Amino acid sequence: MSKLLELPSYKEQAPQVAARFKRIYKRPIKLEVKNLTKVFTTAKGDVRALNDVSFNVHRREFISVIGPSGCGKSTLIRILAGLETLTSGQLLLNGSPVSGPGADRGMVFQNYTLFPWLTVKKNVMFGPQLAGQSEKQAEGNALEWIELVGLRKFTDAYPSQLSGGMKQRVAIARALANQPEVLFMDEPFGALDAQTRASMQSYLLQIWQNVDVTILFVTHDLDEAIYLSDRILVLKTNPGEIAEFIEVSVERSRSPEQFLSPEFLATKKRLEELIHPPSNESTEKLPLVRMTPVGDDVM
Ligand code: ADP
Ligand code: MG
């Protein structure tokens, strides 16, 4: 068997990384989640989707939430966004309890949720106008956000004329136009091809650097979580609980070359251990029989 790379501990931090976390923790706490529990009552009985989840998010942090399918990632951010009720626990924004949705929190979903009958500009203007901005004001703001996501040429296009990546850029502009303090994103790049996804990750980092917004980003892609985040909240399943809250030891600013750096790989290895623990199931041999005569062996 070939030798595996020797990696540093994922907890080891270069001085500049440790210094950055010190600065982050000095920032005000934006979001405080205290003993959050969610039980869904269904015909088949109760489903405990989240159990006693507590964590803090500091202003302008970029947090990813990862974990196996069904561990409660969407439930968690839907509750934080006010789209779902909690069973017990408390949620504080800037130190004050919140319940229900509010303009202080925005959301971007995986499925394109633009209004197909509105142009890019009108889609972005929609929220601010609803909140009481005049048409002129909303239009001026919309143009700035559209510029920020690099879609000026498509201002008057309809969603059907845009690629998947462009639609998600509009969705980001539309969410940010309401000037939320926290932006929740639920697998926003999950439906995109690998290349588009990679450029969307870079766009998102650039946007985040230029806007005063705190981001909670759900993904099941480990590389994506590491590349984007300050910290990664790892959930385990049944019931959804925190397995670990990991500080990403990869320096900022991030670039795709870092995907192969020792810090990146060490973090990825830790995430793999947490999310895909070794089990007999995954090594089970399938009872395959050869369906056609095969001359040469491939292994
Ligand atoms: P994830 O996003 O991590 O894949 P979800 O948050 O969607 O997980 O779901 C977590 C658990 O809660 C799952 O067991 C799921 O079946 C259950 N669940 C989610 N939404 C509902 C609902 N509206 N009613 C009943 N059970 C639900
Ligand atoms: Mg989900």
Ligand closest in space to the Cα of 187: 2
Residue 83: nearest ligand to its CA? 1
**Could you tell me if 169 and 145 are in contact, meaning their C-beta atoms sit under 8 angstroms apart?**
no
Dist CA 187 CA 189 (whole Å): 6
256-277 average pLDDT score: 94
Indicate if 71 and 197 belong to the same structural domain: yes
- Same-domain pairing of 243 and 117: no
Which protein residues touch ligand 1 with a CB less than 6 Å away?
Answer: 40, 42, 47, 49, 67, 69-75
Answer with the residue of higher pLDDT: 298 or 139: 139
Tell me, yes or no, whether 188 and 272 share the same domain.
Answer: yes
**Spatial CA neighbour of 175 closest among 150, 220, 142:** 142
Mean pLDDT within 121-131: 96
Residue 294 has pLDDT above 90, yes or no: no
Which ligand places an atom closest to the C-alpha of 65? 1
Q: 37, 40, 220: which to mutate for ligand 1, most atoms within 8 A of CB?
A: 40
Q: What is the average per-residue pLDDT within 181-193?
A: 95
Q: What percent of the chain has pLDDT over 70?
A: 97
Backbone Cα Rg of the chain? 21
Residue 282 has pLDDT above 70, yes or no: no
Residues 6 or more apart in contact with residue 255 via CB below 8 angstroms: none
Q: What is the pTM of this model?
A: 0.92
Contacts 24+ apart (CB under 8 A), 96-101: none
Asked if 72 and 78 count as a contact pair (C-beta separation under 8 A), the reply is no
pLDDT at res. 283: 63
Q: Are strands 96-97 and 241-247 parallel, antiparallel or unpaired?
A: unpaired
Mean pLDDT of 110-132: 94
222-244 pLDDT, tens digit per residue, is 999 999 999 999 999 989 999 99
Q: Residue 276 has what pLDDT?
A: 86
Ligand 1, atom 27, lies closest to the CA of: 40
The CATH number that applies at residue 235 is: 3.40.50.300
Q: Do 164 and 216 have their domain in common?
A: no
Strand ranges in 196-249 using DSSP code E only, listed in sequence order: 214-218, 231-236, 241-247
Q: Do 90 and 124 fall into the same domain?
A: no
* Residue whose tokens read 């498509």: 154
Which residues, in sequence order, are CB contacts of 53 under 8 Å at separation 6+? 33, 35, 36, 37, 76, 89, 235, 240, 241, 242
Give how many domains the chain has, as a whole number: 2
Q: Are residues 260 and 145 in the same domain?
A: no
Q: Which of 37, 44, 47, 217 gets mutated to test ligand 1 (max ligand atoms within 8 A of its CB)?
A: 47
- Atom 14 (ligand 1) nearest CA: 70
With 0-12 / 13-18 / 19 or more C-beta atoms within 10 angstroms meaning exposed / middle / buried, residue 47 is middle
Question: Which of residues 283 and 264 earns the better pLDDT score?
Answer: 264
pLDDT band at 1 (very low <50, low <70, confident <90, very high): low
| Higher pLDDT pick, 120 / 100 | 120
pLDDT digits (tens, 9 = 90+) for 8-37: 999 999 999 999 999 999 999 999 999 999
Please report how many Cα atoms fall inside a 13 Å half-sphere around the Cα of residue 94, on the Cβ side. 7
Q: Give Cβ neighbours of residue 273 (< 8 Å, ≥ 6 apart).
A: none
**Residue bearing the CA closest to ligand 1, atom 20:** 75
Domain shared by 42 and 86, yes or no: yes
Atom 21 in ligand 1: residue holding the nearest Cα: 40
- Ligand 1 atom index nearest CA of 71: 3
Q: Answer yes or no: is 294 within a domain.
A: no
State the distance from the centre of ligand 1 to the C-alpha of 240, rounded, in angstroms: 10
Q: Same domain for 173 and 192?
A: no
Percent of the chain exceeding pLDDT 90 equals 87
| pLDDT for residue 289 is more than 90 | no
Q: Are residues 190 and 258 both part of a single domain?
A: yes
Of 122, 149, 179, the last residue of a domain is: 179
For the record, the structure tokens of 47 come out as 């489903």
Would 233 be classed as within a structural domain? Answer: yes
Domain that holds residue 53: 24-104+184-276
